[in-house]
């Protein structure tokens, strides 16, 4: 696999020589909450991770972008990915390198993730020229991400035990926003504007099943993670209810439960459309109706999200696996035509379906994330709050 040199733009404003490793420049500040350097994880578990993830989708079903950056401190690896689906042409770019001492350095080959203003604005870049030089694929973007809903810290999964093994909680926050900038794919340029492009993001850390490869996978997999959709007055991020920045309601909320009625593709059993009853803490029920826009799906196995269906379709790569050697940066890419049902069937796993979503007369555009085709099996069985809508699409 080809490699490219690292782009140093956006690196830490507090650099320190590697001769001080594992100390980094950040360790000069009074910011520690454990008796370790900042870059040293609180647990020796090899599945420890920290990740940011962003999406951008339009309102017409032509463009879907999903991108993320992850560090694995106990494996010593770092990776980034971007999935860009243009009218069913699904391109993935992945980059890998060793994890550096400086955890503020969020550049990785052609990828750059930059905090412009905390909890307000990020800048996300994928250098088209570097991608083309390394892989021959012509894809890149320069996206300004602007927060609209209030990110709120929370913990998930505290106290869980799986197969006799304690699983640490995952901590972090999530949010919604608008995007401005450009996305280039081949000869096409898409100009993003806050009125026509919206998305979701998260930042989580802790331990995650499957980090390091299939040998570390314990089989933890939800048949359906939820819906990520923003309305004018609130946003639904799985079971998390988020409010606008500056909203008089403090913090965030949690749904009491969700009831799903799902419709699937007849040929592949991939999710196509459905209905979701949202039961709020005060007993209020709102029903969302969703339908996928064409074949606008982000197949996250291509982004290293391993699970029951395996890792990447080619090479079976999972989160955190060592791909780069020494100081190299490895960049590779692939494109699939996901208008072909056989291709969708091959790529299926943890999938993000770009949908038109309606709730009480308000229309929005967001993501619905099942694990295909486990979600079909659960819905057909009529368990876990899921059932089938007939006929299949």
Per-domain boundaries in the chain? 18-388
Lowest mean pLDDT among 161-175, 278-292, 300-314: 161-175
Work out the percent of the chain whose per-residue pLDDT is above 90. 77
Identify which of 299, 262, 275, 245 has the alpha carbon closest to the alpha carbon of residue 120.
245
Taking the C-alpha atoms of residue 285 and residue 337, their distance in angstroms, rounded to an integer, is 39
- Which pLDDT tens digit goes with each residue over 69-98? 999 999 999 999 999 999 999 999 999 999
Could you read off the pLDDT of 227-246 as tens digits, one per residue?
999 999 999 999 999 999 99
Sign of the C-alpha dihedral computed for residues 63, 303, 106 and 202 taken in this order: positive
Grouping H, G, I as helix, E, B as strand and the rest as coil, residue 296 is strand
Q: What is the pLDDT of residue 6?
A: 39
Mean pLDDT of the chain, nearest integer:
92
Of 131-140, 161-170, 266-275, 381-390, least confident by mean pLDDT is 161-170
Question: Can you tell me the mean pLDDT for 340-369?
Answer: 98
The residues that bridge with 139 in the sheet, in sequence order, are 185
Q: What is the pLDDT of residue 81?
A: 98
Locate the DSSP E strands across 151-244. Answer: 154-156, 160-162, 165-167, 170-185, 188-192, 198-207, 224-230, 235-237, 240-242
**Mean pLDDT, residues 2-7:** 38
Handedness of CA 364, 367, 368, 373 (dihedral sign): positive
In terms of residues, how long is the chain?
393
Domain 18-388 in CATH 1.20.1090.10? The answer is: no
pLDDT at 50 over 90: yes
Chain-centroid distance, C-alpha 34: 28
């Amino acid at each position: 696999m080809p490699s490219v040199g690292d782009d140093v733009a956006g690196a830490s404003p507090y650099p320190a020589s590697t001769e001080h490793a594992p100390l980094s420049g950040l360790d000069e500040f009074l910011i520690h909450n454990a008796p370790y350097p900042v870059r040293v994880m609180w647990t020796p578990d090899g599945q420890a991770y920290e990740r940011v993830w962003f999406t951008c989708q339009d309102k017409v079903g032509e463009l879907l972008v999903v991108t993320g950056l992850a560090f694995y401190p106990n494996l010593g690896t770092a990776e980034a990915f971007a999935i860009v689906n243009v009218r069913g042409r699904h391109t993935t770019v992945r980059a890998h390198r060793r994890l550096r001492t400086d955890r503020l350095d969020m550049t990785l080959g052609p990828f750059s993730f930059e905090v412009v203003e905390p909890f307000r604005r990020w800048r996300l870049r994928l250098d088209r020229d570097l991608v083309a030089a390394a892989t021959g694929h012509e894809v890149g973007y320069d996206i300004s991400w602007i927060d609209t809903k209030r990110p709120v810290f929370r913990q998930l999964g505290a106290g869980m035990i799986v197969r006799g093994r304690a699983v640490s909680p995952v901590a972090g926050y999530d949010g919604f926003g608008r995007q401005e900038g450009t996305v280039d794919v081949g000869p096409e340029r898409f100009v993003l504007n806050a009125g026509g492009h919206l998305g979701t993001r998260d930042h989580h850390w802790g331990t995650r099943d499957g980090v390091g490869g299939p040998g570390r996978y314990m089989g933890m997999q939800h048949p359906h993670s939820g819906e990520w959709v923003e309305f004018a007055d609130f946003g639904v991020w799985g079971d998390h209810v988020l409010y606008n920045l500056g909203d008089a309601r403090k913090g965030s909320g949690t749904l009491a439960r969700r009831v799903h009625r799902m419709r699937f593709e007849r040929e592949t059993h991939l999710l196509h459309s459905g209905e979701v009853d949202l039961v709020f803490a005060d007993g209020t029920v709102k029903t969302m109706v969703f339908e996928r826009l064409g074949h606008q799906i982000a197949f996250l196995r291509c982004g290293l999200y391993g699970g029951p269906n395996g890792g990447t379709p080619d090479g079976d790569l999972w989160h955190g696996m060592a791909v780069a050697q020494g100081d190299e940066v490895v960049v590779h890419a692939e494109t699939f035509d996901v208008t072909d049902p056989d291709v969708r069937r091959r790529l299926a796993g943890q999938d993000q379906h770009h949908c038109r979503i309606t709730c009480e007369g308000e229309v929005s555009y967001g993501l619905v994330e099942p694990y295909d085709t486990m979600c079909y099996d659960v819905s057909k069985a009529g368990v876990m709050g899921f059932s089938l809508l007939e006929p299949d699409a």
